Structure 1
Amino acid sequence: MEMKCVMVIDSELPTGLIANTAAVLALTLGKKMEETIGPTVIDGSGNSHEGITTIPIPILKGDSLKIKELRDKGFNEEFSDLLVVDFSHIAQTTNHYEEYTQKIAAFTADDLDYLGLALYGDKKKVNKLTGSLGLLR
């Protein structure tokens, strides 16, 4: 099975929040998908460079409603084997993880607004969910 990873980020966000959302999603992906990070490499001068992702990660544009829809679909039985990482407005407005866990516990799934989402898994399933979305430029 060929694997694929994409991020979908709300294209209406300011550039700084888009960058922050992508960074947070990428960190979690890196933790959950350690096998996709290559080994340290050495350049022609003998300097080392930490390994980076071995797979492309296109960043697609969406809006908060589309991201919420994708997140919900990602937990349907058909897509339950996909890794789904989300980043909500609650996470973006907290500075400490403990504060985040306390705040998010007070919200239902319907109350959350999503800034971004990452999906990783079977390429056909990821494409089925995101194939109609354009690149975020």
Structure 2
Amino acid sequence: MNDSVPSASPAVPERCVIVVDNALPAGLAANAAAVVALTVGQRHPGLVGAPLVDASGGVHPGLIPIGIAVLGASQEELAAVRHKAMATTECDVVDFPVQGQQTTNYAAFGDAVAAVPGEALRYVAVALVGERKPLGKVVSKLGLLG
């Protein structure tokens, strides 16, 4: 699955995990998690639950029913997590290279990424979506971002 849009899969994957560079300041860490979460939502529309209705009849947008663990990792661990996740077919990977937080211009972001060989890219966040067991093996040693 990995680099392409996911093929036919269960309506709701079993697990969604976002791993963020734990050295980032809080604002940049939140930004990194939000950026990959938006792309995960676009790639996996089945992750959005039914609308929520409050006791007054007010309708609220549906949220993810399986939750999202947000874990912290070092740069080295992020690269290893991405590498391991890319090696499994049961996992969709959304990565956010560091160049994305160095500019507010998407074209400049694309140019900056294009100038770096894939194996040399560093990441501020990686989102993983898929089956519980394979994802668990990839992130088992990581703790919550904190």
Q: Normalization by structure 1: what TM-score?
A: 0.90
Pairing 1:20–2:31 present: yes
C-alpha displacement at 1:3, in angstroms? 1.7
Match of 1:72 in 2: 83
Q: Does 1:116 align with 2:122?
A: no
**Contact in 1 for aligned 2:53/2:60 (Cα 8 Å):** yes
Q: CA RMSD in A?
A: 1.6
Q: Deviations over 1:18-58 (max 9, x none)?
A: 11011111101111111010122221122221111111111
User: Residue 51 of structure 2 is aligned with which of 40, 43, 56?
Assistant: 40
Equivalent position SS for 1:87: strand
Maintained 8 Å contact 2:90/2:134: no
Deviation at 1:89, TM superposition (A): 0.9
Identity over the aligned pairs, expressed in percent?
A: 36
**Matches for 1:92-107 after TM superposition, within 5 Å:** 92-107=101-116
1:94 positional shift: 2.3
Please list the CA deviations of residues 34-92 of structure 1 after superposition, one character each: whole Å capped at 9, or x if unmatched.
Answer: 1010122221122221111111111111111110111112222xx03311011111111
TM-score (norm 2): 0.85
SS at match of 1:12: coil
Which residue identity lines up with residue 18 of structure 1 in the other structure? A
Contact map agreement 2:85 2:135 (CA 8 A) in 1: no
Which ranges of structure 1 fall in alignment gaps of 5 or more residues? none
Mapped partners of 1:9, 1:105: distance in 2: 22
8 A Cα contact 2:20 2:78, kept in partner: yes
Q: Is the 8 A contact 2:79 2:122 kept in 1?
A: yes
5+ residue gaps, structure 2, are: 1-9
Residue aligning to 1:5: 16
